[in-house]
């Protein structure tokens, strides 16, 4: 974690009144990508409409812009998964439907834990829509209901083109500092979670921190030392 990022968080928590003993702050980064061609093994394809979504959700981009729920957007130059996004484009011809990094003070799961709605648009009308919510217990917890729609993917008996909707619903517990991968034959999700120091409220913003270069992922893999993720199609996995 760069010192500048830690200082940014300290200022955010002081401004929003979030305290260290109730919220555990993380820098979260998420990529949602669509494969260029869904795997032929898919058996969960829904025409036009899909099962009801788990929740309505607060628009994530609006929440980031307004810094709601203690969220703080981070600049693109701080992203640690840029190399992963580039490999997805080059090696798989994938569409990056969503890629964001932000600071998120995490709390234990409760009835008031907010859902956030994610959206994105790729080539040829491929569209992401879904909701996620983040919480923490012993591990970071992600509850996700994501759908990728491909227009005119299938045809009705009378030849009418139909959309195909691919659904990923998953609850995942994640260790921090690791890179996590949610897999689906039609799309995937890559998640990086970086904990912030326990003593962050005591830090003061230092003008010299502006000259500190952000940590970035290297071509050899994530900066945390975890192995690079294999994002090849499911049929080609060892």
Q: Report whether pLDDT(217) > 70.
A: no
Alpha carbons 188 and 190: distance in angstroms, whole number: 7
pLDDT, average across residues 150-166 = 84
145 pLDDT tier (thresholds 50, 70, 90): very high
8 A C-beta contact, residue 144 and residue 182: yes
Q: Report whether pLDDT(219) > 60.
A: no
Mean per-residue pLDDT of the chain: 77
116-121 and 58-59 strand pairing? parallel
Residues in contact with 52: Cβ distance below 8 Å, sequence separation at least 6, in sequence order? none
67 pLDDT tier (thresholds 50, 70, 90): very high
pLDDT, average across residues 119-141 = 95
Q: What is the pTM of this model?
A: 0.74
Alpha carbons 73 and 104: distance in angstroms, whole number: 9
SS3 call for 185: coil
Q: Report whether pLDDT(106) > 90.
A: yes
Q: Which residue has the tokens 């996004």?
A: 85
pLDDT the model gives residue 116: 98
pLDDT, average across residues 95-119 = 96
Strand order from edge to edge, sheet including 95-106? 72-73, 95-106, 24-34, 187-195, 179-183
| DSSP run (H or E) holding 9 | helix 3-16
């Amino acid at each position: 974690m760069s010192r500048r990022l830690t200082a940014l968080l300290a200022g955010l928590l002081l401004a929003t009144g979030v305290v260290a003993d109730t919220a555990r702050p993380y820098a979260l980064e998420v990529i949602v990508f669509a494969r260029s061609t869904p795997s032929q093994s898919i058996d969960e394809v829904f025409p036009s409409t899909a099962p009801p979504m788990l929740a309505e959700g607060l628009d994530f981009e609006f929440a980031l812009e307004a810094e709601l729920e203690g969220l703080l957007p981070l600049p693109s130059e701080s992203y640690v998964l840029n190399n992963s996004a580039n490999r997805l484009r080059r090696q798989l011809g994938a569409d990056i439907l969503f890629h964001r990094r932000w600071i998120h003070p995490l709390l234990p799961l409760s009835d008031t834990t907010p859902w956030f709605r994610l959206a994105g648009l790729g080539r040829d009308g491929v569209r992401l829509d879904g909701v996620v919510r983040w919480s923490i217990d012993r591990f970071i917890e992600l509850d996700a209901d994501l759908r990728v729609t491909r227009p005119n993917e299938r045809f009705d008996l009378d030849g009418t083109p139909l959309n195909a909707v691919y659904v990923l619903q998953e609850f995942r517990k994640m260790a921090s500092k690791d890179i996590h991968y949610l897999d689906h034959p039609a799309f995937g999700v890559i998640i990086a979670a970086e904990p912030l120091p326990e003593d962050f409220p005591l830090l003061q913003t230092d003008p010299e921190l502006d000259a500190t270069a952000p940590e970035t992922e290297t071509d050899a893999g994530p900066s945390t030392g975890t192995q690079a993720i294999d994002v090849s199609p499911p049929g080609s996995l060892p």
